[in-house]
């Protein structure tokens, strides 16, 4: 197999390791910068655990690997293109991509992505989706001569057989356990979803969902599908789907999601959104805390110059990654900001109001008014003056009435008195407005 002409070239890490500046502390809150050694668009990002992870890059087409939680990355493989990883167990991972030949590109590693073997699917002109239920059995979706196909292997990719010719041009997902003695799976053919309840022997058309970038089910009934500006959810195995849209307002110019990570039935994170700060665009991380019904967002430090964050993965409830960023506390506080519609008149003064409710448990809201276009910084400090949260970091606002909702329940703060302070730099007069108020947090 390793002499196969489609074998992908392994590059020794010692020859081209690129080291990044390592963070000096693991105590940072929220999402903080964790740069990659090369620019490129992240196609997928997956971690085996809190230390070992992989990134598939497009342009340049590389697979990167880390063994220290993303603080250092190095190149392990030059690929034609790798689109998606499927981690099977503590050691084995498959990836699907696009080759420069007439064979679909499937690669596999048995040592956590350190070295890779090529497992081409003969005559598959494209390979779009991948789902393995164990180290031996899996499906790959694609097409050949304009016809959709699902190929199946039961011997770890050594041989492939056609499992369907009615679906395959899109994502595919199988539950990793059997139900009534068979594997249940879902597959997209362009914008139409199909389902099998007999390990792919037959497929039933469910309906038209639009362009789906990810499918994920936690059991035979409950699943999600990313669809542009919304995440669809089903509770009856895909027969019916409800569209749950991403939030509007909050200067959210990019209301789009491509990849999501389901931590449990309630908590889901998503990538690819962004906000407009006076012509400067910065990425956000989507989050739902009620099973994908409602979505809010977390704002990584806007000094991180990333238009969007691609890929999202958590190894546990606290430790997660997207491209160029990492969190050690579940992404820190959930921030909800927007226009304060309770006040319709144009403000004549800079005003920072008392948070409400106060005292509060986990979440509270701060209203403020800006009389002139300004750069705003809103920061929360503990009683000793130590900064614990920066809601805004010198971000541009036009004149108006606004609010910031913060949920700090994840931050591990102790009960007590805190201080929040707003500074506003008037762009016209260059005058600085500063005001502080106390808030009381009770666990």
Of 332, 355, 380, the residue at which a domain comes to its end is 332
Residue 14 lies in a domain: no
pLDDT, residue 427, reads: 85
Task: Please tell me whether residues 246 and 328 are part of one structural domain.
Answer: yes
CATH number at residue 421: 2.60.40.2550
**Alpha-carbon distances, residue 443 vs 113, 335, 366, 409 (angstroms):** 42, 18, 19, 8
Tokens of 61: 């087409």
- Of 311, 332, 353, which residue is a domain's last? 332
Does residue 317 lie in a domain region?
Answer: yes
Q: What's the number of domains the chain is made of?
A: 2
Structural domain span for residue 398: 336-441
Instruction: Establish if 36 belongs to a structural domain.
Output: no
Within this chain, do residues 243 and 354 fall inside the same structural domain, yes or no? no
* Residue 82, pLDDT score: 85
| Buried/exposed code over 59-68 (b: 16+ C-beta within 10 A; e: otherwise) | eebbbbbbbe
Are 240 and 264 in a shared domain? yes
Output the pLDDT for position 50: 96
Residue 6 has a pLDDT of 33
* In a shared domain, residues 289 and 340: no
Q: How many CB atoms lie within 10 A of CB 161?
A: 10
Q: Which residue has the tokens 């430090």?
A: 301
In a domain, 153, yes or no: no
Among the candidates 277, 299, 332, a domain finishes at 332
pLDDT at 4: 39
Does residue 322 sit in the same domain as residue 340? no
In a domain, 426, yes or no: yes
User: Do 328 and 345 have their domain in common?
Assistant: no
Round to whole Å and give the CA distance between 71 and 21: 8
41 part of a folded domain: no
- Assess whether 234 and 317 both reside in one domain: yes
pLDDT per residue, tens digit, the chain (443 aa), is 443 333 333 322 222 222 222 222 233 568 899 999 998 899 999 999 999 999 999 989 999 999 999 999 999 988 777 889 999 999 999 999 876 565 667 899 999 999 999 888 877 767 789 999 999 999 999 888 888 999 999 999 999 999 999 999 999 999 999 999 999 999 999 999 999 999 999 999 999 999 999 999 999 999 999 999 999 999 999 999 999 999 887 778 899 999 999 999 999 999 999 988 778 899 999 999 899 998 988 888 778 888 999 999 999 999 999 999 999 989 877 777 777 777 777 788 899 999 999 999 988 999 999 999 998 999 999 999 999 888 887 878 888 999 988 888 777 789 999 999 999 998 888 889 999 999 999 98
Do 317 and 251 lie in a common domain?
yes
344 and 326 inside one domain: no
Q: Which residues of 101-125 are buried (b: 16+ CB within 10 A; e: fewer)?
A: eebbbbbbbbebbeebbbbbbeebb
Answer yes or no: is 53 within a domain: no
| Coil/strand/helix, residue 411 | helix
Query: Does residue 83 fall inside a structural domain?
Result: no
Do 221 and 292 reside in the same domain of the chain? yes
pLDDT at 26 (0 to 100) = 30
In this prediction, residue 3 carries a pLDDT of 37
Q: Do residue 226 and residue 327 come from a single domain?
A: yes
DSSP string spanning 367-410?
EEEESS-EEEEEEEEETTS-EEEEEEEEEEE-SEEEEEEEE-GG
Q: Are residues 423 and 344 in the same domain?
A: yes
Confidence at residue 101, expressed as pLDDT on a 0 to 100 scale: 60
């Amino acid at each position: 197999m390793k002499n196969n002409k489609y074998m992908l070239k392994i590059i020794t890490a010692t020859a081209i390791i690129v080291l990044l500046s390592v963070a000096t502390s693991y105590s940072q809150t929220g999402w903080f910068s964790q740069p990659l050694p090369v620019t490129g668009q992240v196609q997928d990002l997956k971690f085996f655990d809190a230390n070992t992870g992989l990134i598939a890059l497009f342009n340049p087409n590389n697979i990167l690997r880390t063994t220290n939680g993303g603080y250092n990355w190095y190149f392990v493989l030059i690929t034609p293109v790798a689109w998606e990883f499927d981690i099977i167990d503590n050691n084995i991972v498959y990836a699907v991509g696009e080759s420069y030949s007439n064979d679909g590109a499937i690669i596999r590693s048995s040592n956590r992505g350190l070295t890779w073997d090529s497992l081409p699917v003969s005559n598959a002109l494209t390979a779009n989706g991948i789902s393995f239920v164990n180290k031996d059995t899996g499906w790959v979706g694609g097409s050949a001569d304009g016809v959709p196909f699902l190929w199946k292997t039961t011997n770890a990719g050594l041989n492939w057989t056609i499992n369907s010719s009615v679906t395959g041009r899109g994502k595919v997902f199988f539950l990793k356990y059997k139900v009534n003695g068979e594997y249940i799976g879902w597959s997209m053919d362009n914008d139409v979803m199909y389902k099998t309840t007999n390990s792919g022997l037959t497929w039933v058309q469910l309906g038209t969902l639009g362009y789906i970038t990810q499918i994920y089910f936690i059991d035979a009934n409950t699943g999600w599908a990313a669809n542009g500006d919304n995440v669809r959810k089903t509770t009856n195995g895909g027969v019916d789907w409800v569209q749950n849209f991403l939030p509007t307002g909050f200067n959210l110019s990019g209301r789009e999601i491509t990849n999501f990570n389901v931590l449990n039935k309630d908590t889901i994170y998503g990538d690819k959104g962004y906000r407009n700060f006076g012509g400067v665009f910065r990425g956000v991380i989507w989050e739902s805390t009620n099973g994908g019904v409602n979505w809010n967002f977390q704002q990584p430090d806007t000094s991180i110059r990333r238009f969007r964050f691609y890929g999202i993965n958590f190894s546990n409830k606290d430790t997660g990654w997207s491209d160029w960023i990492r969190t050690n506390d579940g992404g820190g506080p959930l921030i909800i900001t927007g226009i304060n519609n309770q006040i319709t008149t144009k403000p004549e003064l800079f005003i920072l109001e008392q948070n409400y409710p106060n005292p509060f448990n986990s979440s509270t809201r701060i209203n403020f008014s800006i009389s002139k276009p300004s750069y705003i910084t809103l920061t929360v400090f503990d009683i000793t003056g130590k900064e614990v949260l920066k809601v805004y970091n010198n971000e541009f606002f036009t004149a108006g009435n606004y609010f910031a909702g913060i949920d700090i329940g994840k931050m591990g703060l102790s009960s007590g008195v805190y201080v929040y302070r707003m500074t506003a730099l008037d762009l016209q007069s260059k005058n600085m407005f500063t005001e502080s108020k106390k808030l009381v947090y009770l666990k």
